Structure 1
Amino acid sequence: MKLPALPLLLALLLTAACGQPEKPVETAPPPPPPVPGPDLSALTDSNAAALLTQYGQQYPGSEIIVHTRLGNMRVKLYDDVPVHKANFLLLARKGVFDETVFNRVVKGFAIQGGRSDHRTIRINRYHLPPEIVPQHFHKRGALGMARYDDDQNPGKLSSNSDFYFVQGEKLTPDQSAAMAGRKLTPEQQRVYATQGGAPSLDGKYTVFGEVVEGLDVIDKIAAEPVGTDKWPTKDVDIKIEVLP
């Protein structure tokens, strides 16, 4: 005796339930491990130098790449300015600079970055002790740290996050010597004459690196239209990659 056929819908449901494997439950990927180094919100004028020196010894680095929409710059960081170097590496690895732009551009002088209107990473405002080394001068492509509140900053303490690249201009030896306000070596005068720079900044700001590839990117950024505050009318975003 034949059994009555199952209704079509019930048969389909039974087939689907018995014949298809269950889909695995999707889970969110684990969060990335925290970037090692001092808490940026805990750094102060009194502890920054010691903590950054220790960080630089534990997590060294020598080169970075600055990525922008106008091209990339490969930058060498100097070993004999350890606090500034370690500070820059720390902020780069923690993504601070990736939330900033070139916010002050003066053609024929320098392009400055490190600020923005959309920073989300919490960071304390601390200063760095000056590490002014005579052989590191403000030639074209030099990387230095800015400074603020000069009337309240007799010690020439550097900003913690505002940096600049020198564009400058070519100068005769007499011009560069007069602008520097200090004795320049023959080699420094030759570089200012053949490559250019901004000798008026020598001895006043810490230079802690230099562009070794992509100098033309400085010129491209310097040529961007700017507003009355020298901020480019179209943001030049920054993304910094620390090379192994």
Structure 2
Amino acid sequence: MKKIGLSLLILLNTVLFWSCNEEEYQFNHNPHALINCNAGNILVELYADKAPLTANAFIKYADSGYFDDTYFYRVLNLHNQPMDDYKAELIQGGTYLNKDKPTNLPGTPHEPTNKTGLKHLKGSLSMARMDTGTATTEFFICLEDQKGYDFGGENNHDGFGYAVFGQVVQGMDIVRKVSERPEKGQRFRPPVKINSIRIVHRPKQ
């Protein structure tokens, strides 16, 4: 019963969000997702035109409810990284803390920025990964431009960079608010709940 009530509350919050904002943003030919977290709503455009493999994998997980009750759990800022590191500013979310969700998911083929033409800019949505082709449900949002995460950049171990697949179009203030939550050792204490991620606009085929 609690699960049903929470789902209805999330749906109501989404409807209220659009009733207040639908005239302020004009959707284009790409799908859009609404990230509803305890700090507020974040609207992102998903670049299905330029990074189709990554964007469509994200859409598949969103449609399945896989992101429900997950978390923003990690933050990188200018004060919590080693002095000799190339600094990055981002928040990271996904299913990492959800021990009840399957982990043997198929990796998404890597779509590097030198192929897609996308860049890690302020508000960019990108995939976390280990080796290329291993990205699944963990993603991050850039707080500032992060060229070190592009193909050939200094912030990745193999030079292939990370796969940008979206951009925050509304709610960057919420991203910033999340980034300012208490953290220790790059981990939010406590983590910030992601209630749901829903696809709220799908272009007509």
TM-score range, shorter-chain basis? 0.5 to 0.7
Identity of aligned residues (%): 29
Matched, 1:101 2:75: no
Corresponding residue for 2:124? Answer: 142
Name the amino acid aligned to 1:67: N
In structure 2, what is the Cα distance between the partners aligned to 1:118 and 1:147? Answer: 17
Q: What is the identity, as a one-letter code, of the residue corresponding to 2:150?
A: D
Output the CA distance in 1 between the equivalents of 2:197 and 2:56.
14
1:160 paired residue number: 136
1:89 to 35, 50, 59: 59
Indicate the RMSD between aligned Cα atoms, in angstroms. 1.9
1:61 Cα deviation (Å)? 6.7
Residues 92, 138 of structure 2: 8 Å contact kept: yes
- Please give the alpha-carbon distance, in whole angstroms, between the structure 1 residues aligned to 2:77 and 2:177: 10
User: Tell me, what secondary structure is at the counterpart of 1:124?
Assistant: coil
One of 92, 106, 112 as aligned partner of 2:92 = 112
Alignment of 1:231 onto 2:179: no
Letter in 2 for 1:199: K
CA–CA distance in structure 2, aligned partners of residues 118 and 130 of structure 1 = 24
1:105 is displaced (CA, Å) by 0.8
Q: Check the 8 A contact 2:127/2:162 in 1, yes or no.
A: yes
- Size of the aligned set, in residue pairs, is 150
Which residue number corresponds to residue 147 of structure 2? 199
Instruction: Kindly state the Cα deviation for residue 241 of structure 1 after the two structures are TM-superposed.
Output: 1.5
SS in 1 for 2:173: helix
Query: Who is 1:69 aligned against?
Result: 38
Q: Give the conservation status (yes or no) of the 8 Å contact 2:113–2:162.
A: no
Query: Unpaired segments of 5 or more residues in structure 2?
Result: 1-28, 79-88, 152-160
> Which structure is richer in relative contact order (CA contacts within 8 A, separation 6 or more)?
2
> Could you list the runs of 4 or more consecutive aligned residues of structure 1 that deviate by over 4 angstroms after TM superposition?
none
- Helix, strand or coil: the match of 1:165? strand
1:194-228 residue CA offsets vs partner (Å, 9 max, x unmatched): xxx11100111110010001111111111111122
The answer for the alignment partner of 2:200 in structure 1 is 243
Deviation at 1:121, TM superposition (A): 3.9
Alpha-carbon deviations, 1:27-78, whole Å to 9, x = none?
xxxxxxxxxxxxxxxxxxxxxxxxxxxxxxxxx9700011111111110001
TM-score by length of 1: 0.57
What is the aligned partner in structure 2 of residue 208 from structure 1? Answer: 165
Match of 1:19 in 2: none
Determine if the alignment matches structure 1 residue 221 to structure 2 residue 178.
Answer: yes
- Select the structure that is richer in strand: 2
* Letter of the structure 1 residue corresponding to residue 128 of structure 2: A
Matches of 1:240 and 1:89, distance apart in 2: 9
